Amino acid sequence: MPYLLSLPSWLYLTVFFVVPLVAMLSMSLATGNPLVGYVFSWHFVEFARAVDHYWVQLVRSFWYGTLSTFLTLVLTYPVAYWIAFHGGRHKGTFLFLILLPFFVSFVIRTLAWQFLLSDQGLILGSLKSWGVLPEKTYLLSTSTAVIGGLVYNSVAYYVLPLYVALEKVDRRVVRAAGDLYASPAQAFWRVVLPLSAPGIFAGFLLVFVTNVGDFVNAALLGGPGTRMVGNIIQYNFFDAQDYPMAATLSSVLMFLLIVAIYLYARVFGTESIQEYAT
Amino acid sequence: MSDQKKSNGMWRIDDPALLRGLTQARVSRRGFLEASALGLGAMALPSAAFASDMMAKPAKLDATWQAWWEKQKPTKDLVFANWPYYIDTDDKTGKHASLDKFTKDTGIKIKYLEVIQDNASYYAKIAPVLKAGQSIGNDIIVITNTWQLTELIMQKFLTPLWQEKLPNFFKNASPSVISPAYDKGNKYTITWQSGLTGIAYNPKLTGREITSFDDLWDPKFAGHVGMMSDLTELGSAALLKLGIKPVTSTSDDWKKAAAILDEQKKKNIVRQYYDQSYIKALENGDTWISQAWSGDIFQAHSKGFNDLKFIVPKEGAMIWHDNMMIPKGAANPLSALTWMNYYYTPETAGLIEDYDNYICPVPAAQDYILKVLKDPDVGNSPLVFPTKEMYAKVNDYYVFTSYENYQAWSNTFSPIVQG
């Protein structure tokens, strides 16, 4: 029975995905408090309350997520392109160098940014002493720092799928474009870019989903008015001990992400991209 | 109070305590306790006269618990869960002299664990176990007088103390830790250490001395004022600024406090609502003036940030207490009582205080530190042994009466931090 081979996967999914998911969904519909306990009660009002209370942070999370993912793409595409097309026999080394910082825990790396970006730190301090920036300027505790941190932390997750897609591009096709009098720019826009679309798509999903739910960057680099929905969930779980609200917000976030991904796939779906490419 | 610490082992990225910053370091800060540096010089009066103002006596247990305690058999073990850097530790050997002495005197072996990193996440960890009626494996835990402590009491997760076995507490405890508002009659808890929440600032950056909570609202410091993300600390600071005593405040007062905090935020005066990381922002110069825990400023001095100053504002400061208590299901409750009683001697408290340097709950330890340990820096510090004048300026936190009451406070102040 070949189906039996899938049994471990089913078991794994049930124990570590389905059970927690059901627990979360049922908690989001429960009423009560930590002292008296919780009763499941189809308490759908909690969803309205969650959106009503925290729509600002939800919108902010999606905005930060979209912007940071897009910036990561713009930043990493040239790098992946260069390694795939001009890396020669050192491709592996270059990739390794890009991944190297990511062997350090990302909390530590993000904390390092606190130090680098501090008002009189290495970056701002120097720029201020050269008179490039006015004395009052600061970066830490702003949305710029949060988005910057999100971009920084997603580089590896975008470079890899882009590299794989670009590496797979048939060089003969690129050469054929040249033979047919396409300029290098035309060959890139009309041949290479469409052929690398699966990498762009895969990387976007990977980075976007992670960044929308992120709360470390906002906690460590943000300030007033930069909290994301992940911070709100954490606050409700640990500090406010409002478990139904934490569960509801998690459910809302998951639901919105699924809708966003569905729409994204419909518009830039893999199929249509591949059709365009062929 | 509350919030962060660093774990004694691995950096775990899913560790919420770590994610919210670093630790609320209960760190030794030997030799940085000069009264003058604290703006408290005028207050450095002898505190000995204050010690015997009030006499408390052991209270009787109810019959059920009396019978329960009498049934317990003495054991030779004790598991003590505390916060990191919170007990006398030898720099070289890592040994704790106070604990070793206890083992020698009583024959009870102590397993000392530095596992508590912040009140909220520690509570989240132990509550399900205690709720299920199981043992968390610790005989003594140390919790700050926060909502979580109130919750432990309300949930009946704690063993009432057999006060007859704590004569040293009633003989030696400072009046400030006897029958506190959050645990009337010391039914469940006795204090391990206390500390102050006031204001820290860098005079070089502020350009003037700081005396008041009003300075935290000064538009001149816009973008460089640090406030705490802990809602109890944040709200209490605003209440003090308004001249309202937090411990007797009402929900109307909270709204007024939230309004001035909101105004402070809207005018872009606040740089950030910090967890433990506020101290790094002060050290880096990102903030010039900030709400602060007294202990951290000494730690900053030892790292070379000598410009930073800590003051008790003229409106007053908040005083918090970290308390020892016995969770239900403890395997060695009698050993736990023995240690608690042993701690409240000038010798043991002095030994630990000489390392900890927070506020000592045993005033008589001052003499021990001065005469036996010969450490005048700690012994003469008004921050370790506050004077009567200083005690007059410290305020207790509001004690929540129910979850709804706690939620009302949270809902009043959380939009400021989370918005």
Q: What is the DSSP string of A17-34?
A: IIHHHHHHHHHHTEEEET
pLDDT value at residue B384: 87
Q: Report the pLDDT averaged over residues B271-297.
A: 91
Q: Where in the sequence is the domain holding A29, given as residue range(s)? A: 1-43
The minimum CA-CA distance between A119 and chain B, rounded to whole Å, is 5
CB A122 within 8 A of CB A113: no
Whole-structure pTM value: 0.85
The class of domain B48-194+321-384 in CATH terms is: alpha beta
Output Rg (C-alpha) for chain B, integer angstroms.
21
Does residue A1 sit in the same domain as residue A56?
Answer: no
Could you identify the residue written with the tokens 């009659």? B185
SS3 B199: strand
Question: Do the Cβ atoms of A215 and B19 come within 8 Å?
Answer: yes
| Residue B41's pLDDT band (cuts 50, 70, 90) | very low
Residue B201 has pLDDT above 90, yes or no: yes
Counting other chains too, the contacts that B242-245 makes at CB distance below 8 Å and 24 or more residues apart are B243/B315, B245/B395
Residues in chain A within 8 Å Cβ distance of B157: none
No. of H helices and E strands in chain A? 15, 2
CB A173 within 8 A of CB A87: no
Residues of B contacting chain A (CB within 8 angstroms): 11, 13, 16, 18-21, 120-121, 124, 127, 151, 154-155, 223, 231, 265, 270-273, 275, 277, 280-281, 284-286, 402-404, 407, 410, 414, 417-419
Average pLDDT, chain A: 91
| Residue B304's pLDDT band (cuts 50, 70, 90) | confident
Does residue A217 sit in the same domain as residue A168?
Answer: yes
Of A9, A24, A43, the residue that ends a domain is: A43
Question: Do the Cβ atoms of A227 and B19 come within 8 Å?
Answer: no
Contact with chain B for residue A143, Cβ under 8 A: no
Residue B28 has pLDDT above 50, yes or no: no
Spatial distance between the Cα atoms of B377 and A251, rounded to a whole number of angstroms: 55
- Lowest-confidence range among A125-129, B169-173, B200-204? A125-129
Q: Report the pLDDT averaged over residues A236-245.
A: 93
Contact with chain B for residue A134, Cβ under 8 A: no
Which of A229, A239, A249 should we substitute to test contact with B (largest number of B Cβ atoms within 10 Å)?
Answer: A239
CB B195 within 8 A of CB B295: yes
Nearest C-alpha in A relative to B230: A239
Does residue A20 sit in the same domain as residue A76?
Answer: no
Question: Do the Cβ atoms of B418 and A227 come within 8 Å?
Answer: yes
Domain parsing of chain B, residue ranges: 48-194+321-384, 197-319+399-418
Residue A18 has pLDDT above 90, yes or no: yes
Does residue A142 sit in the same domain as residue A265?
Answer: yes
Spatial distance between the Cα atoms of B300 and B289, rounded to a whole number of angstroms: 14
Residue B62 has pLDDT above 50, yes or no: yes
| Residues recorded for chain A | 278
Indicate the number of domains in chain A.
2
Does residue A28 sit in the same domain as residue A115?
Answer: no
Spatial distance between the Cα atoms of A110 and A214, rounded to a whole number of angstroms: 12
> When comparing pLDDT for B98 and B300, which is higher?
B98
Q: What is the largest CA-CA distance in chain B?
A: 65
Q: How buried is B408 (Cβ within 10 angstroms: 0-12 exposed, 13-18 middle, 19+ buried)?
A: middle
Scan residues 93-112 of A and list those with Cβ closer than 8 Å to B. Answer: 105-108
What token pair was written down for B174?
A: 């400072």
φ/ψ of residue B313, rounded to 5: -60, 160
Spatial distance between the Cα atoms of B309 and A118, rounded to a whole number of angstroms: 20
| pLDDT tens sequence across B129-156 | 999 999 999 999 999 999 999 999 999 9
Question: Do the Cβ atoms of A35 and B155 come within 8 Å?
Answer: yes
Question: Do the Cβ atoms of A56 and B419 come within 8 Å?
Answer: yes
Does residue A35 sit in the same domain as residue A139?
Answer: no
pLDDT value at residue B55: 63
> When comparing pLDDT for B126 and B300, which is higher?
B126
| pLDDT tens sequence across A142-188 | 999 999 999 999 999 999 999 999 999 999 999 999 999 999 999 99
Question: Do the Cβ atoms of B286 and A141 come within 8 Å?
Answer: yes
Does residue A152 sit in the same domain as residue A24?
Answer: no
Residue B15 has pLDDT above 90, yes or no: no
CB A257 within 8 A of CB A230: no
CB B317 within 8 A of CB B233: no
Spatial distance between the Cα atoms of B343 and B338, rounded to a whole number of angstroms: 9
Does residue A145 sit in the same domain as residue A218?
Answer: yes
The minimum CA-CA distance between B418 and chain A, rounded to whole Å, is 6
SS3 B325: strand
Nearest C-alpha in B relative to A222: B272
Residues in chain A within 8 Å Cβ distance of B275: 219
What token pair was written down for B278?
A: 């506020």
pLDDT value at residue B331: 97
Contact with chain B for residue A225, Cβ under 8 A: yes
Residues in chain A within 8 Å Cβ distance of B417: 227, 235
| Residue B210's pLDDT band (cuts 50, 70, 90) | very high
As a whole-number percent, the residues of chain B with pLDDT over 90 amount to 74
Does residue A132 sit in the same domain as residue A179?
Answer: yes
CATH architecture of the region B197-319+399-418: 3-Layer(aba) Sandwich (3.40)
In our burial notation (b when 16+ CB lie closer than 10 A, e otherwise), range B249-272 reads beeebbeebbeebeebbeeebbbb
Residues in chain B within 8 Å Cβ distance of A118: 281, 284-286
What token pair was written down for B189?
A: 């808890």
Does residue A1 sit in the same domain as residue A123?
Answer: no
Spatial distance between the Cα atoms of A158 and A150, rounded to a whole number of angstroms: 12
pLDDT value at residue B30: 39
CB B315 within 8 A of CB B62: no
Dihedral sign of CA atoms B318, B319, B322, B326 in order: negative
Going along B53-92, which residue ranges are E strands?
Answer: 77-82
- Lowest-confidence range among A95-99, B15-19, B99-103, B351-355? B15-19
pLDDT value at residue B5: 36
Residues in chain B within 8 Å Cβ distance of A57: 418
Question: Do the Cβ atoms of A34 and B151 come within 8 Å?
Answer: yes
